[in-house]
Amino acid sequence: MDSKCKILISGAGIAGLGCAAWLRKKGYTPTIIEKANSVRAGGYLVSVSHHAYHFIKELGLLPALQEVNTGISHSSYHDASGRSLLALDYKKLFSKVDVIQPMRDGFSQVLYDHIKDDIEIKFEHTITKLNQKDKICEVEFSDGMQEEYDLVVGADGLHSNVRKLAFPTDMVKMHYLDLCCAAYKLSNTLGINKKFETHMHRDKYMAVFNTPTEELGAVFVWESKLRRIPENRMRTIDAPIPS
């Protein structure tokens, strides 16, 4: 593929930013569009290991990612009454594994800082139409503009707009786990330090861990047949990452 070809990436999450960083390293200059008004913060703890770890290392971003590492060194598992079932020492568990554990927003910030001066990111933009014509993809955007691209990458999440526009609905099958999850950042009233602590029940569990800012990250998972959260029940707090 010619390095001068036009590439569009839909989505400025970790997948989209990471794709853009790698393409830039290979000599391409893609464009990113993102429906939000900024690169969004929030999210879960991310374990970057094996291929992902070496991907970050090859991009030269390992030192920056280490600065936002949570520093978790051990974990424990408990039953519903709080009784300890298992304890793990990460130094022993990962002694021969390359792994680093940042928060999702820290990871996004590192990728964003790496590409923001060289790659155009159009916020508050979405794709409304895709039309494959020979080897060119005709794209229409939400602001009415139209452009042609050699490649369009859908990195826009589980409910991908690109996938919906590019493929018939009968070609895509969703496999539900019948689980729901929620994540929060709270004051670290438990005093957890460099630890990932899981409390389990038969049909639900809770995990808590310290963040790099000494807050408490809390994740809840429970059994549910719910397919989508009704709009009137959604509670989202999403702060933008500084530019």
Q: Is 123 within the bounds of a domain? A: yes
Q: Is 79 within the bounds of a domain? A: yes
Sheet hosting strand 127-133, strand order edge to edge? 127-133, 136-141, 146-149
Are 184 and 207 contained in the same domain?
A: yes
Are 221 and 118 contained in the same domain?
A: no
pLDDT at 95: 87
Are 166 and 210 contained in the same domain?
A: no
The per-type count for the chain, helices as H runs and strands as E runs, is 6, 15
**CATH of residue 197:** 3.30.9.60
Work out the burial of residue 107: count CB atoms within 10 Å of its CB; fewer than 13 is exposed, 13-18 middle, 19 or more buried.
buried
pLDDT at 114: 97
pLDDT in tens, 21-34: 999 999 999 999 99
Are 111 and 218 contained in the same domain?
A: no
Q: Give yes or no for a contact between 181 and 223, defined as CB atoms under 8 angstroms apart.
A: no
Place of tokens 């159009």: 122
Q: Give yes or no for a contact between 17 and 38, defined as CB atoms under 8 angstroms apart.
A: no
pLDDT at 213: 87
pLDDT in tens, 97-115: 999 999 999 999 999 999 9
Per-chain mean pLDDT for the chain: 90
- In degrees, to the nearest 5, what angle opens at C-alpha 174 toward C-alphas 155 and 171? 80
Residue 159 lies in domain: 7-62+105-171
Q: Over 80: is that where the pLDDT of 238 sits?
A: no
Number of structural domains in the chain: 2
How confident is residue 51, by pLDDT bands cut at 50, 70 and 90? very high
What 126-130 contacts at long range (C-beta under 8 Å, 24+ apart), as own/partner pairs, is: 126/10, 126/33, 126/35, 126/161, 127/10, 127/33, 127/152, 127/161, 127/162, 127/165, 129/165, 130/162, 130/165, 130/166
pLDDT in tens, 182-198: 888 899 998 999 999 99
Q: Over 60: is that where the pLDDT of 177 sits?
A: yes
Structure letter (DSSP) for residue 69: B
**CATH of residue 162:** 3.50.50.60
Residue among 170, 56, 176 nearest 110 (CA): 56
pLDDT at 241: 47
Are 120 and 52 contained in the same domain?
A: yes
* 116-132 mean pLDDT: 96
- For the record, the structure tokens of 142 come out as 């939400």
